[in-house]
Structure 1
Amino acid sequence: MPVEPAVTAEVSPEAAFGRELRRLRHERGWSLEALGAKVGYSGTMVGYFERAERPVPESFVPIVENVLGSGGKLAALWQEMDPRHPQKWFRRWPKIEAAARTIRSWEPLLVPGLLQTEGYARAVLRGIPGATEEEVEELLTVRLQRQGIFSGRTPPMYTALMDEGVLHRPIGGATVMRGQLEHLLALMDHPRFTVQIVPLEAAVTTGLLGGFAIAQLSEGRYWAYLESASDGQVTDHLDEIHAISLKYDTIRAWAHPVHVTKEVVREAMVRYEP
C-alpha cells in the first residue's frame, strides 16, 4: 500500500480529508464500492471525495465517521475545509499562517484580519453584499479563530504595514475604532508584533491596488497571498514571491518607525473620543 505524504501547509483541506478517508478505507481492506454501500453513496462518489474532486456534504461526515471509526479525525478535517467561507481560494491561507515563523503584511484600506478586534471585524464582514447576520457571525468566528496562532507554543513574528488612511476610516463607528486603535497600541508593546504606519504625505502609490502578506514557514519556504476587488491568490511561485517582497520593502522604506507610529495612532484616537 502506498504511504501517504504528511499533510503540510501546501496540502488543501479537501485533499487532506480525501487522503485520510482513503487511508482508513485501505486500512480495512475495503473497495470504494464496499465503503459506498455502507455509507449510502456510490463508490464513484466516494472516489470523488478521496480525490478532492467533489465537495463533501456535511451529512456524509458523521455516517463515514461511524462506519470507519476515525475518532473524530475526519470531522476535524472537514471543519478545516470551512465551507462557510465564500472565498475558496483563501482556505489554504489560515493553514499557512498557523505553520509560519514570520508573517509580513501590507494593508492600504483596513486593519489586517489577524489584528482586528471583534467589533471591527464584525463591521467589516457586515459589508459583504447579501450577507445575513448569521453568516456574518459564522465568518467572524472563523476570523477570530485565525488569531489563535499567536497563543500557541511557537507564535510567528508578525509585522504589519498599514496606510495612515486606515486610522481615519471609521469602520463600525467611533467606539469600535477607539477600541481597535487601543488594541493596536497594546500589540505594539508585545515583542512579537511590529506595526508601522505609512504616512499620507509620503504619497506612496506602491501597493495601493490591494493588500498582501508574505509568510515564511519553518523549513524556509515562502508563501504569499494577494487581495483584489473580486478575488485573491495564494502562491509559492518564486518569481511572484520576489516581486511581492520588493513591493513590501519599497513600502516599508516610507513607513514611520515604531515609536513614531505609536504617536500617530494616539493622535488618531483623539477623533474617536466620546
Structure 2
Amino acid sequence: MYVPPDPDPTVKPLVFLGAEMRKRRIRANLTQDRLARTIQFSQSLVGFIERGERTPSQNFMQRYDDALNAGGELVRLWAHLTRGASPRWFRNWLEVEHEAHTLHAWEPLYVPGLLQTEEYARVVIRGEPGITEPQVDKAVTARMERQAIFERPSPPMLRVLLDEGVLHRPIGGKKVMHRQLERLLEAVESPRIGIQIIPVALGVTTGLLGGFAIAQLSDTSDNVYIESATHGHVTDRPEDVEAIRSRYDALRATAQPEHTSIELIREAEKLWI
C-alpha cells in the first residue's frame, strides 16, 4: 500500500500535496489529460494543483483519489494538511456555513474570506502577530477550501455588504489588490452572489466596530458570526440574531444598488493597475 511520507516542514502544504498527487498519477501510468477527462475537470486545473498553485476542493480530491484507486489515501493526506488550520472557535461557524442555504455578510475593513484570492488571504493572515509561515500556509489552504461550497450542485446564496474603503485599502500592494478586485467582479457574474458597496461619503457608522455574517439554514434557526479583535463569536440566540439582522438591514438601506456597486468596484480596480 502506498503511504505518503510525513510532510516536509520546509515545503508549503499545497506544493507537498501536489507532488504526492503527481507521483501517484505517474505510478498509475495516467497523463494529466487523461486524468482530467476522467474526473471531469480541466487539464490546466489539474496542472495548477499538482504544482501547488491552486487549492483543491474536497470534491476534486475525491474524484482524483477515485480515478487512481487510491482508497482514500490522497483525500486523507489533503485533510491532514488542512486539519487544525482554523481556530477552534471558528470551526463551529464552518459547519454552519456548510449547511446554510443563504449567507449575508458585512465587512468594514477587508474582503470576506469566501471571496478572497490566495494572495490577498496570505497578506491578511500574515497580519496575525507571531504566526509562522507554516501556519500561514495551512490557514490559507483552509480559507481557500471554504470557497468550495460554491462548487456544490446547489451552492448557497451570498449577499455581501462592503465598505467602500475596502476597495482602496492597499492590502498586499497594487498587484494583489488588482487581482482581488478582479475576483470580486468575477464573483458577481454568478446570479447567486451579490455585492453592494456602502459609500465612504455617507459617513455611515453602523457596523464599524466589526464585521459579521448571518447564516440561514433550512431545518434550524439562523446563526450569526460576530468578529472581535481576539476571536469570533457564533450564536443562534434569538436576541443576538435579531440584533445583527437589524444592523444588516440598516446597512443595506444605505448601500448602493448592485449595478452601481459593480461600477464602483470596476473603477477602483483601474486604480490598482
Hey, what's the Cα distance between the residues in 2 that align with 1:142 and 1:191? 25
Provide the aligned length of Structure 1 versus Structure 2.
199
Q: Which residue does the alignment assign to 2:253?
A: 253
Q: What does the per-residue CA deviation read over 1:195-240, in whole Å, with 9 as the maximum and x for residues that have no partner?
A: 0110001111110000000001122520110001122100000010
Q: What pairs up with 1:115-126 in 2 under 5 angstroms?
A: 115-126=115-126
Q: Which residue does the alignment assign to 1:83?
A: 84
One-letter amino acid of the counterpart of residue 188, structure 1: V
1:207–1:80 CA distance, 2 compared to 1 (3 A): farther
Hey, what's the Cα distance between the residues in 2 that align with 1:251 and 1:233? 20
1:175–1:81 CA distance, 2 compared to 1 (3 A): closer
User: Which consecutive residues of structure 2, in runs of 5 or more, have no partner in the other structure?
Assistant: 1-71
Shift, 1:188, TM fit = 1.0
> Is 1:232 the equivalent of 2:218?
no
Q: What does the per-residue CA deviation read over 1:174-206, in whole Å, with 9 as the maximum and x for residues that have no partner?
A: 001000001101111110000011000111111
Structure 1 ranges of 4+ moved more than 2 A: 78-85
Q: Which residue does the alignment assign to 1:62?
A: none
> Normalized against structure 2, the TM-score is what?
0.69
1:79–1:212 CA distance, 2 compared to 1 (3 A): farther
Please identify the structure whose Cα radius of gyration is greater: 1
Hey, what's the Cα distance between the residues in 2 that align with 1:121 and 1:99? 23
Contact 1:163/1:198 (<8 A) preserved: yes
1:80–1:160 CA distance, 2 compared to 1 (3 A): farther
> Is 1:213 the equivalent of 2:213?
yes
Shift, 1:268, TM fit = 0.8
Hey, what's the Cα distance between the residues in 2 that align with 1:115 and 1:81? 19
Q: Which residue does the alignment assign to 1:176?
A: 176
Hey, what's the Cα distance between the residues in 1 that align with 2:230 and 2:249? 26
Hey, what's the Cα distance between the residues in 2 that align with 1:267 and 1:83? 39
User: Which consecutive residues of structure 1, in runs of 5 or more, have no partner in the other structure?
Assistant: 1-70
Task: Please state whether the residue corresponding to 1:264 is helix, strand or coil.
Answer: helix
Shift, 1:82, TM fit = 3.7
Task: Please state whether the residue corresponding to 1:194 is helix, strand or coil.
Answer: strand
Hey, what's the Cα distance between the residues in 2 that align with 1:241 and 1:81? 30
Hey, what's the Cα distance between the residues in 2 that align with 1:266 and 1:169? 15
Task: Please state whether the residue corresponding to 1:228 is helix, strand or coil.
Answer: coil
Hey, what's the Cα distance between the residues in 1 that align with 2:111 and 2:82? 25
Hey, what's the Cα distance between the residues in 2 that align with 1:239 and 1:147? 29
> Is 1:111 the equivalent of 2:114?
no
Hey, what's the Cα distance between the residues in 2 that align with 1:228 and 1:182? 28
Q: What pairs up with 1:254-269 in 2 under 5 angstroms?
A: 254-269=254-269
Hey, what's the Cα distance between the residues in 1 that align with 2:85 and 2:243? 32
Q: Which residue does the alignment assign to 2:128?
A: 128
Alpha-carbon RMSD across the aligned residues, in angstroms, is 1.9
Q: Which residue does the alignment assign to 1:203?
A: 203
Q: What does the per-residue CA deviation read over 1:75-113, in whole Å, with 9 as the maximum and x for residues that have no partner?
A: 79x96994333x321111111111000000000000000
Q: What does the per-residue CA deviation read over 1:19-70, in whole Å, with 9 as the maximum and x for residues that have no partner?
A: xxxxxxxxxxxxxxxxxxxxxxxxxxxxxxxxxxxxxxxxxxxxxxxxxxxx
Contact 1:120/1:177 (<8 A) preserved: yes
Hey, what's the Cα distance between the residues in 1 that align with 2:82 and 2:272? 39
One-letter amino acid of the counterpart of residue 167, structure 1: L
Contact 1:81/1:91 (<8 A) preserved: no
